[in-house]
């Protein structure tokens, strides 16, 4: 098949590694294919002049990481957009779909500090930098004495700011650290039951125009079925809750021997209260996974304080 595929991506080191990975996989399966990496600057890219604003406080929230890439897709300037799924909003623009995923990497969060191995080792009133309301809530549950401060930037930027003494510690995606080969800086890893990961954490997703059937056939070769089932359940749960980066939501699905297991938790921002539900069921398709994700979300939605979800 002679076809050129333009691959849209953010320009960070991690984003380029992910896009190049997708490109290499496409070429390995389709030697005649022509590809081009197109770097797109997004509104979510942190600039020092913005200060340490929380992403949840920025107009557009998570969508800031994808808006310009999605516009380029709709304008047919690119053919696919490569994303970290955890940075994607719950709902995509009309005409665009994200239903192809590379195999999930490690979904855990990592504690990162120059002087301390874990959150339990921090001295009283230590300063931890994170702009994730989910990580903030879980940290305050474990250590209500620590001070949480907003901490923007890509992984290398946050590490450099920590080294400069702005904070005592930060929390990063372990998969992201591994992708850019700085995992040796990770201290203790939070198991998924300790700090429930973000929806799609550790997964690279591919977005494209729903009308592009020819491209879908190409992308079908890349899709990791088990990951697709898990992410379908997680995103379905997030959609029921209308989850954005404004609410502290953790959701993690695993798939084993034809059964899907999902753990969903919603928290108050200060970590003082949580609402949690777990579901499992036989699951062979994404549509079945979506139903299970919706079921677990409806359980939590019934019990949770509506104000937390609407903040």
Catalytic residue among 45, 87, 109, 168: 87
Superfamily in which the 109-190 domain is placed by CATH: Periplasmic binding protein-like II (3.40.190.10)
- Which CATH code is given to the segment(s) 1-102+203-223? 3.40.190.10
pLDDT of residue 311: 57
- Region for 242 from its dihedrals, namely left if φ exceeds 0, alpha if ψ lies in -120 to 50, beta otherwise: left
pLDDT of residue 152: 85
Give the CATH class of 224-311: alpha beta
Domain 1-102+203-223 matches domain 224-311 at the CATH topology level: no
Give the integer Cα–Cα distance in Å for 150 and 161. 12
Give the integer Cα–Cα distance in Å for 92 and 98. 8
Q: pTM for the full model?
A: 0.91
Alpha carbon 258 to chain centroid distance?
A: 24
pLDDT of residue 3: 77
pLDDT of residue 64: 67
Task: Give the pLDDT confidence of 105-130 residue by residue, as tens digits.
Answer: 999 999 999 999 999 999 999 999 99
Question: What are the domain boundaries of the chain?
Answer: 1-102+203-223, 109-190, 224-311
Specify whether 21 is catalytic: no
pLDDT of residue 228: 99
Token digits of residue 134: 């989910």
Contact 93, 210 (CB under 8 A): no
pLDDT of residue 18: 97
pLDDT of residue 63: 62
pLDDT of residue 310: 77
What are the Cα distances from residue 275, in Å, to 112, 213, 265, 296, 309?
A: 27, 41, 6, 11, 11
Residues β-bridged to residue 265:
250, 276
pLDDT of residue 162: 96
What stretches in the chain show pLDDT beneath 70?
A: 1-2, 43-64, 243-245, 311
């Amino acid at each position: 098949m002679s076809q050129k595929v333009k691959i849209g991506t953010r320009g960070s080191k991690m984003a380029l590694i992910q896009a190049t990975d997708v490109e290499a996989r496409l070429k390995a399966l389709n030697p005649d294919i022509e590809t081009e990496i197109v770097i797109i600057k997004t509104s979510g890219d942190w600039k020092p002049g913005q200060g340490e604003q929380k992403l949840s406080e920025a107009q557009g929230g998570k969508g800031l990481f994808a808006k310009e890439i999605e516009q380029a897709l709709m304008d047919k300037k690119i053919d696919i957009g490569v994303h970290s799924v955890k940075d994607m909003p719950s709902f995509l623009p009309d005409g665009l779909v994200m239903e192809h995923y590379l195999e999930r990497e490690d979904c855990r969060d990592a504690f990162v500090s120059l002087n301390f191995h874990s959150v339990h080792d921090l001295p009283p009133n230590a300063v931890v930098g994170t702009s994730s309301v989910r990580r903030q809530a879980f940290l305050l549950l474990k250590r209500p004495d620590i001070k949480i401060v907003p901490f923007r930037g890509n992984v290398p930027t946050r590490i450099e700011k920590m080294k400069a003494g702005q904070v005592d510690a930060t929390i990063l995606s372990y998969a992201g650290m591994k992708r850019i080969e700085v995992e040796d800086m990770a201290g203790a890893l939070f198991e998924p039951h300790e700090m429930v990961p973000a929806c799609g954490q550790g997964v690279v997703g591919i977005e494209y125009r729903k009308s592009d059937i020819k491209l879908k056939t190409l992308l079908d070769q890349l899709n990791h079925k088990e990951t697709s089932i898990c992410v379908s359940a997680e995103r379905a749960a997030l959609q029921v809750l209308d989850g954005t980066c404004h609410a502290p939501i953790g959701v993690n699905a695993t798939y084993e021997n034809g059964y899907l297991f999902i753990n969903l938790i919603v928290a108050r921002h200060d970590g003082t209260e949580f609402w949690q539900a777990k579901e499992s069921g036989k699951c062979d398709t994404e549509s079945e996974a979506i139903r299970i994700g919706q079921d677990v979300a409806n359980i939590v939605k019934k019990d949770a304080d509506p104000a937390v979800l609407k903040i």
